[in-house]
Structure 1
């Protein structure tokens, strides 16, 4: 069942404040306290996430898988980097999979990595179509999250819906559902 943007916004409002003042207070806002409590409830089931990553790693032998989950976000997150970069130009792509802890939804996107020699000089998240060498990885990630966690993959258009919430350093009008349901820094990967 696909949730609407209104349904997802209702969920996100429980965990992210609608004013900047919530971040200026010494004590965490009620919304942020609920997010912390949800992480405390969710973390004991971490073995299931690790099993998923092992299964994904087996299915993607040409890619290096890393867990990039951060409890300041609202999701479990992993990234798949191509192992053989010798055939790639100075621009490479990684696929990033997110499994929300707020709702039974997932999202996969790409991060374009720019290099000068071996030094990474920039990285940019892309929610649009991915290059073929990354698209198949993203599709597999999404399928496995859907089947392993009974999550619904959100369409890219829905994740880019603007929301009136303050999520970490994102604030309206820049805040989108992707920030509220998954991560405020989609471009940030190691």
Structure 2
């Protein structure tokens, strides 16, 4: 069972500022410094994350698996790109928060040329049918490897009065604070 909404709000307030004063001055806030310190600890445990990615490569051989972790966010993120022969070009992204024992999985639909890949839609629950199989597998692997619970969508959509990198109130949600401020941004 994931932490309660109250517990999650208490956690994210410790790592994201409630005003943008520090951003405007080009300084790190005390919250950002705590997030940086937590990342320094978590990055020492990367072997477990690399093992998950290796496991996904074996479990999803028709996908290209990559790491989409960015330490400006608060989660490890993996991405599984559909093969070029798939009828729809898409990716499934799995996120494991470093702030709380929760994860999320979502999808991206995109168009691709030789030079660029453009995300046309970010998909959350319910995912389109062609994303459900790989999303379910990624969710099970994160749950098994980390012991995390999936964050219910209704909690993920909860607005938070915090400044999370590129998001600011009233557009910031618990999803942004726990996982990624720009979910469509993947390598």
How far does residue 62 in structure 1 lie from its aligned partner after superposition?
A: 1.1
CA distance in 2 between counterparts of 1:124 and 1:170 reads: 18
Aligned: 1:156 with 2:153 = yes
| Alignment partner, residue 100 of structure 1 | 97
Matched, 1:75 2:72: no
Where in structure 2 are there 5+ consecutive unaligned residues? none
Report how far residue 67 of structure 1 moved.
0.3
The number of residues matched between the two structures is: 187
Q: 1:20 to 1:54 in 2, by over 3 A?
A: same
* TM-score, scaled relative to structure 1: 0.92
Q: Hey, what does 1:88 align to over in structure 2?
A: 87
- Aligned to 1:69, what secondary structure does the other structure show? coil
Query: Are 1:79 and 1:95, in contact at CA under 8 Å, matched by a contact in 2?
Result: yes
> Which deviations, in whole Å up to 9, do the C-alpha atoms of 1:92-138 show, x marking residues without a partner?
22100000000111000011113468743444322132222211111
2:167 is the alignment partner of 1:144: no
Tell me how far apart the structure 1 counterparts of residues 71 and 148 of structure 2 sit (CA, whole Å): 19
1:182 to 172, 179, 182: 179
1:44 maps to what in 2?
44
Q: Structure 1 residues 111-120 or 40-49, which shifts more?
A: 111-120
Deviation at 1:36, TM superposition (A): 0.2
Select between 3-12 and 40-49 the one with higher mean Cα deviation: 3-12
Question: 1:14, 1:42 → 2: CA distance?
Answer: 17
Shift of the 122–6 alpha-carbon distance from structure 1 to 2, 3 Å rule, reads same
SS of 1:99 mapped into structure 2:
strand
Unaligned runs of 5+ in 1: none
For 2:164, which of 151, 163, 167 is the aligned residue?
Answer: 167
**Residue 135 (structure 1) aligned to one of 114, 132, 135:** 132
- What value does the CA root-mean-square deviation take over the aligned residues? 1.6
Asked whether the equivalents of residues 123 and 187 of structure 1 are also in contact (C-alpha less than 8 Å), the reply is no
Q: C-alpha separation between the residues in 2 aligned to 1:151 and 1:67?
A: 19
2:33 maps to 33
Q: Distance in 1 between matches of 2:56 and 2:93?
A: 12
TM-score by length of structure 2 reads 0.94
Distance change (3 Å), C-alpha of 1:42 and 1:119: closer
Measure the CA separation in 2 of the matches of 1:26 and 1:82: 39
3-state SS, counterpart of residue 142 of structure 1: helix
